[in-house]
Amino acid sequence: MTDHLPVPGAAPGEPGQSVSAAPEQPPGKYDAEIDRLFGAGGPLAPAVGTFKPRQSQTEMAKAVAGAIANQTTLMAEAGTGTGKTFAYLVPALLWGGKTIVSTGTKNLQDQLFLRDIPTVRMALRAPVSVALLKGRSNYVCHYHLERTLQNGRLTSRDDVGHLREISRFIKMTNSGDKAELAKVPENASVWNLVTSTRDTCMGQECQYYQDCFVMKARREAQQADVVVVNHHLFFADVALKDTGVAELLPSANTIIFDEAHQLPDTATLFFGKSVSTSQVLELCRDVLAEGLAHARGATDWAKAVTVVEKAARDLRLAFSQDNMRLSLPQILPSSEFFPALDKLKEELAGLVTVLEAHAAAAESLEQCRVRAVELAAAYDDWKPEAKGKEVEGDQAVLWVEAFSSSLQLHKTPLSIAPIFSGQRAGTPRSWIFTSATLAVKNDFKHFASQMGLTGEPAQTWPSPFNYGEQGILYVPTGLPEPNSMGYTDAVVDCALPVIEAAGGRTFFLCTTIRAVNRVAERLRAEFAARGLDFPLFVQGERGRTELLDAFRNAGNAVLVGSQSFWEGVDVRGDALSLVIIDKLPFAPPDDPVLAARIEVMEKKGLNGFMHHQLPEAIITLKQGAGRLIRDVDDRGVLMICDPRIISKPYGRRIWQSLPPFKRTRVQDEVVAFFRSPASQADSR
């Protein structure tokens, strides 16, 4: 039997629902102008062929304009299809003053800079200048390119061809942005040799300083009215003061974070400290090259770096497993890790002494000395006795992460709220945080507490889509508990008839890479056995963009993916009609940072699961569910296989936070949905 999901909050088409305790504000001074701009006869309609007035979009634009006018903070959740990008861009371009817009990814950053902002600027005839600013690893470095060309240390034919393309590119480009060079893949290893890092940049001592693409991008950002960055860049700057954003912040009137749900994780990454054995090996490689080039007879450079390299490798070998995470208390006192760490610290100190004696021979050797000092300090900072120390106003957790060829040591703050609150203090300006997924059933407490925004205004605007008519939430019966042996196989068995009924056109979203691989293996075999001609695309077999393009073009494909396909993916129309989610996306229980956070919360009398793990899982699940209905004409089924959404007391809170689809547990009803005339038309 099918029934309707209760609609949490405002119904489609109603104005935004305020969830803050603030009293209702009088009409803003820009409200009438926003009504005109977003109205049927306004300038946006002719500029955007598909533009239609949407009350939610107009109301959100008014709220953003109010925050800009009053230099206040706003958390704004806007359902899929609201048009939140235009809702914040219109007031920002007209009244925002110097504005920084930060997005979740470099792809979204490019989309804003190349498409969305030019469209709005042209429609409004707004005389604003716009700049794009990325991290330095996105720009070709003249110095490192020349050094790589001279050294000739490339080992693969691909790298040689890529280097040739980059050499041509640098003579023609104005920006030096590697995104413009499509012939060289973004993940090609040669990029590491022709871009700079904070450690390897020569700064004003560089002979190419005046032509430097990084410095050019920063100068343009200084002069622009609107600067587009990404979250990694923004918070790397706050932590490292090396991205150019630090120079922009003092003069900025408006800061807008799009895809703001990603901020807690991104900020935690950059407010923490990490050091890796691979950084030590890179330093040794550069010390050897520069020492032989500029002070060959001064010391035995090979011997000086060999002992450090061995100590770094021995530290990695203290753990026999790959892809492993351990917090400090989980490392046994008898482990080889602690003596190996002390040995690496000792050998790094020795390398610093050697470099101090010879750094005057060349600027590049002095740079190596500075890097060695900073690395030694980073390792020295990771001390077992530091457990529980206060770090910038809050506790930190020490933990290690082992990869196949490197070991990372992390020092991660358990809360970024005090640090971020400190960043927001001082100069009055407006701060806008927006996403389709900030709240849990219209409750912003989780996001607000993570970011230190408690008590700030928050509003939510519903999607204009008619979810009750456009889609079904299907939770199958008879599946075992998710931790059971053979769970993934049971999910595939349950999903196959639905995939077949949908005619392919499926995203199969998994919570682990292991599940991705098992699902792909099973589907490949089942499609062959059943004679189903559905192209199968699997995360990792090709790049994300390439997989998505192939999926769209096929029209009847099945794509199996994990985390990177749960958000930031937009497939409209016929190609996607079924989203399958294997499990509720709870963070892995062995995550050392999560375990430490829960321990602290429970000492305060809070329930770690209800106050942290569950809200996090709901926000991630909302992102995955948001892949299904992307337009007013889309139809489809969201299939959540995890029985806990029904069997557990917290399940109700989960599905009430999802879009208000019709609900069913009956497979035949789902098959009938796909066989209905509307779905048949979609699949043609």
Domain containing 494 — which CATH number?
3.40.50.300
And the tokens for 243? 């991205």
Closest CA to 674 of 494, 495, 467, 500: 500
**Inside any domain, residue 184:** no
Number of structural domains the chain divides into = 3
The phi-psi region of residue 620 (left if phi > 0; otherwise alpha if psi is between -120 and 50; otherwise beta) is alpha
* C-alpha span between 448 and 20 (Å, rounded): 11
β-strands 254-257, 3-4 pairing: unpaired
Read off the pLDDT of residues 251-265 as tens digits, 9 standing for 90 and up: 899 999 999 999 999
Identify whether 169 is part of a domain: no
- Which residue range forms the structural domain that includes residue 28? 3-135+217-263+416-461
Please state, rounded to an integer, the average pLDDT across all residues of the chain. Answer: 88
- Residue linked to tokens 């979609």: 682
Which residue, among 93, 96, 112, has the nearest Cα to 104 in the 3D structure?
112
Do residue 516 and residue 582 come from a single domain? yes
pLDDT beyond 90 at 122? yes
Using one digit for the tens of pLDDT, what is the confidence trace for 623-681? Answer: 999 999 998 889 999 999 999 999 999 999 999 999 999 999 999 999 999 987 665 54
User: What phi and psi values does residue 343 have, to the nearest 5 degrees?
Assistant: -65, -40
Residues 445, 506 share a domain: no
Interatomic CA distance for residues 597 and 601, integer angstroms: 6
Average pLDDT for 578-588: 95
| 637 touches 643 (CB < 8 A) | no
Q: Please give the single-letter amino acid code of residue 669.
A: E
44 and 123 in contact (C-beta within 8 Å)? yes
Are residues 127 and 255 located together in one domain of the fold?
yes
**Is 164 a domain residue?**
no
Region of residue 393 (left: phi > 0; alpha: psi -120 to 50; beta: else): left
Say what the pLDDT of residue 293 is: 87
Interval 372-408: pLDDT, tens:
999 999 998 887 654 444 333 448 889 999 998 899 9
pLDDT in tens, 650-665: 999 999 999 999 999 9
630 to each of 467, 571, 574, how far by Cα in Å? 11, 7, 11
DSSP annotation of 6 reads: P
User: Is residue 185 assigned to a domain?
Assistant: no
142 in a structural domain: no
DSSP characters for 504-526? Answer: S-EEEE-SSHHHHHHHHHHHHHH
Is there a single domain that holds both residue 387 and residue 475? no
Q: How confident is the model at residue 553 (pLDDT cuts 50, 70, 90)?
A: very high
Check whether residue 254 and residue 349 sit in a common domain: no
Cβ neighbours of 69 (radius 10 Å)? 15
Main-chain phi, psi angles of 88, to 5 degrees: -100, -25
Report d(CA 677, CA 674) in Å as an integer: 8
Band the pLDDT of 491: cuts 50, 70, 90: very high
CATH code of residue 346? 1.20.120
> Is 615 in contact with 437 (CB distance < 8 Å)?
no
Is 181 part of any domain? no
Phi, psi (deg, nearest 5) at residue 401: -135, 120
What is the spatial distance between Cα 27 and Cα 544, in angstroms, rounded to a whole number?
45
pLDDT, tens digit (0-9, with 9 covering 90-100), for 39-63: 988 999 888 877 889 999 999 999 9
Residue 158 included in any domain? no
435 and 505 housed in the same domain: no
The pLDDT assigned to 26 comes to 59
Coil/strand/helix, residue 180: helix
For residue 352, give the nearest of 318, 376, 381 by alpha carbon: 376
Tell me what the mean pLDDT of segment 443-452 comes to.
95
- Residues 403, 481, single domain; the answer is no
Phi, psi of 441 (to 5 degrees): 50, 55
CB 18 within 8 A of CB 24: yes
Query: Which residue among 426, 461, 496 closes a domain?
Result: 461
Q: Is residue 615 located within the same domain as residue 679?
A: yes
Q: Are residues 312 and 236 in the same domain?
A: no
Give the integer Cα–Cα distance in Å for 416 and 390: 13
Residues 83 and 53 in one domain: yes
CA pair distance 90, 38, nearest whole angstrom: 9
22 located within any domain: yes
pLDDT at 424: 87
Contact call for residues 660 and 467 (beta carbons, < 8 A): yes
Say whether both 254 and 324 belong to one domain: no
Region 510-536: mean pLDDT is: 96
- Each residue of 225-247: pLDDT tens digit? 999 999 988 888 766 665 566 67
Are residues 661 and 513 located together in one domain of the fold? yes
For 330, other C-beta atoms within 10 Å of its C-beta total: 13
pLDDT tens profile 6-21 = 333 333 333 344 443 3
